Amino acid sequence: MKFTIGVDYGTNSVRAILVRTSDGREIGTAVVQYPSGREGVLLDPADHNLARQHPGDYLVGLEESIRGAIAQASAFQGFAPDRIVGIGVDTTGSSPLPVDAACTPLALLPRWKGHLAAQCWLWKDHTSHEEAAAITAAAVRLRPQYIAKCGNTYSSEWFWSKIWHCLNTAPEVFDAAHSWVELSDYIPAVLAGVTRPEDVRRGVCAAGHKAMYSAEWQGLPDAEFLAALHPKLAELRPRLYDVAYDASHTAGTLCEAWAEKLGVPAGIPIAIGEMDVHYGAIACGVTEGTLVKVMGTSTCDCAVVPVGSAVADIPGICGIVNGSILPGHYGIEAGQSAVGDIFKWWAEVVCQGDSRLHAQLTAEAAAQRPGEHGLLALDWNNGNRTILVNPRLTGLLLGQTLYTSRADVYRALVEATAFGARAIIERIREYGVRIDRVVCAGGIAEKNAVLMQIYADITGCTMQVAGSSQACALGSAISAAVVAGEHADFASAQASMASIKDIVYAPKPENARTYDKLYAIYRELHDAFGGVNKAADLSSVMRRLIEIKTAATTPAAQAEPRSPSRPPAEADLAPA
């Protein structure tokens, strides 16, 4: 038997799993919470757009999670650390770190340890919204091809806008940084013992989706374009990278120092780093026609189309990148900037509850029919990633009365995220990409049957659930198995190591009819507040919501079966 390790860096914690390469069986796992900040995130009370993380947390989590997974796996018959043949890593993104010439994050140096700009700029940091808008405007004017593949709008969640914002607001940090490295590239480089940023092997996943990298224009944006933004960005370019690699390549081999720390063989291959959901898609068996949704604090959607097939540019998505998920396929990414975070905000921040309140609100919401609460919400509490690509948008709740309950709002927020998911699916299909099935991964999808049924009813798609509760980490381990030579290619590795649960959530026609009416109103609000339809007339919205509510509470409607297919389990909609 041979085994690989998958390490998954999330927003609040890092987890490692140890799996058998023959069948993907998970024999050891460990989760380490980040010790710094609020649940691992460094915040600024004066700026709700700021979200950073301390790089030291990543290193502590790396060692403790892997050693913990190995310790748990030691009870499995046939396992021994010397049978570990590879390591794979996935992370959030875009989460770039400023580093010095020795590839040490600035925040690990005494001078910069308390400086927020010297930390890792976490994916959900939106402080660079002005820079993102300026990059979009410059690209439209000078290099439209640069943003055509990423939805025609550059995001404040991405690489260049964050670095430029650092230059504008903390020039002392920018000047001290020799280079910048994505978290998904940094961790594999640490394991490989890389000591120069120029030697870090960068993954095309983060490069293509977040940094406007493409082989079509020989890599990163050219110096002339960057100089039009700021001359210092052009000066930085030679200290970044020229080539980025897909998952058929390695990021290096495990160095002696980290092999000793972890108690595993030195020299084993390290898979190229990818963003969490992209490797998660592999563990969900992604292939053409499958949309994978990894649902956590946010939601990221991934699909693939074989290279050689025509793929149109899709406005408002997060990118179409050759090799960003599976080698030999274009990876298509979209997503929502807040999903689990919205439920957490309502239950834990506003209602001052905990996981037990999530379960209670879910049970109460399950007793309702679609439209019964009379509410409609927009899912923009952390901005809109797809399809409007606007971090300056905020949440909205409409239709509340003096009788509106906590559970009413909770269900309306769940429905809002499902309406946002439907908008993404419709946009991708509109441009000719097949979506035959939807596979969901993450704690929300696994634990909450009520939410999954609502998603099926609203999207009109049959929803399936990933076989692994650690899909992102499993995808990293699958990639490690491929580069270690345990499987000939990703298709055979997926066939052996990926799985889907038997649970299926099919749309219910009676619920779908009501949700179609509500979705029509959602799109009116979406387009009006999102700036798509500036002449929108919303004067009938409240009346129509009341009409839908009245229809849902008539005696005839009350005689119909309730929404969930079965009573909810001890569900916890909080971010996994």
Q: CATH no. for residue 231?
A: 3.30.420.40
pLDDT for 568 equals: 44
Is 574 inside a domain boundary? no
Is 492 inside a domain boundary? no
Asked if 239 and 291 sit in the same domain, the reply is no
Q: Give the CA-trace dihedral at 132, 136, 138, 139, to 10 degrees.
A: 130
184 in helix, strand or coil?
Answer: helix
Cβ partners under 8 Å of residue 476, min gap 6:
6, 7, 8, 88, 89, 90, 271, 274, 279
Is 419 inside a domain boundary? yes
Asked if 250 and 342 sit in the same domain, the reply is no
pLDDT for 573 equals: 45
Asked if 289 and 225 sit in the same domain, the reply is no
Asked if 247 and 342 sit in the same domain, the reply is no
Is 17 inside a domain boundary? yes
Is 319 inside a domain boundary? no
Cβ partners under 8 Å of residue 180, min gap 6:
96, 97, 98, 99, 159, 163, 236, 240
CB 288 within 8 A of CB 407: no
Asked if 241 and 342 sit in the same domain, the reply is no
Asked if 82 and 125 sit in the same domain, the reply is yes
CB 532 within 8 A of CB 526: yes
Q: Using CA atoms, how far apart are residues 199 and 188, in angstroms rounded to an integer?
A: 12
Measured in degrees and rounded to the nearest 5, phi and psi for residue 458 equal: -80, -45
pLDDT for 558 equals: 57
Cβ partners under 8 Å of residue 77, min gap 6:
none
Is 330 inside a domain boundary? no
Asked if 257 and 358 sit in the same domain, the reply is no
Asked if 259 and 379 sit in the same domain, the reply is no
Number of domains making up the chain: 2
pLDDT in tens, the chain (576 residues): 999 999 999 999 999 999 999 999 999 999 999 999 999 999 999 999 999 999 999 999 999 999 999 999 999 999 999 999 999 999 999 999 999 999 999 999 999 999 999 999 999 999 999 999 999 999 999 999 999 988 889 999 999 999 999 999 999 999 999 999 999 999 999 999 999 999 999 999 999 999 999 999 999 999 999 999 999 999 999 999 999 999 999 999 999 999 999 999 999 999 999 999 999 999 999 999 999 999 988 899 999 999 989 888 899 888 899 999 999 999 999 999 999 999 999 999 999 999 899 999 999 999 999 999 999 999 999 999 899 989 889 999 999 999 999 999 999 999 999 999 999 999 999 999 999 999 999 888 988 999 999 999 999 999 999 999 899 999 999 999 999 999 999 999 999 999 999 989 999 999 999 999 999 999 999 999 999 999 999 999 999 999 999 999 987 655 555 544 444 444 444 443
Asked if 237 and 90 sit in the same domain, the reply is yes
Asked if 233 and 292 sit in the same domain, the reply is no
Q: Using CA atoms, how far apart are residues 366 and 360, in angstroms rounded to an integer?
A: 10
Instruction: Enter the DSSP assignment of 427.
Output: H
Residues in the chain: 576
Residue 87: CB atoms within 10 A of its CB come to 31
Is 404 inside a domain boundary? yes
Asked if 271 and 357 sit in the same domain, the reply is no
Is 485 inside a domain boundary? no
Asked if 451 and 535 sit in the same domain, the reply is yes
pTM: 0.88
Type of residue found at 286: V
What is the extent of the structural domain holding 456?
285-297+336-466+499-565
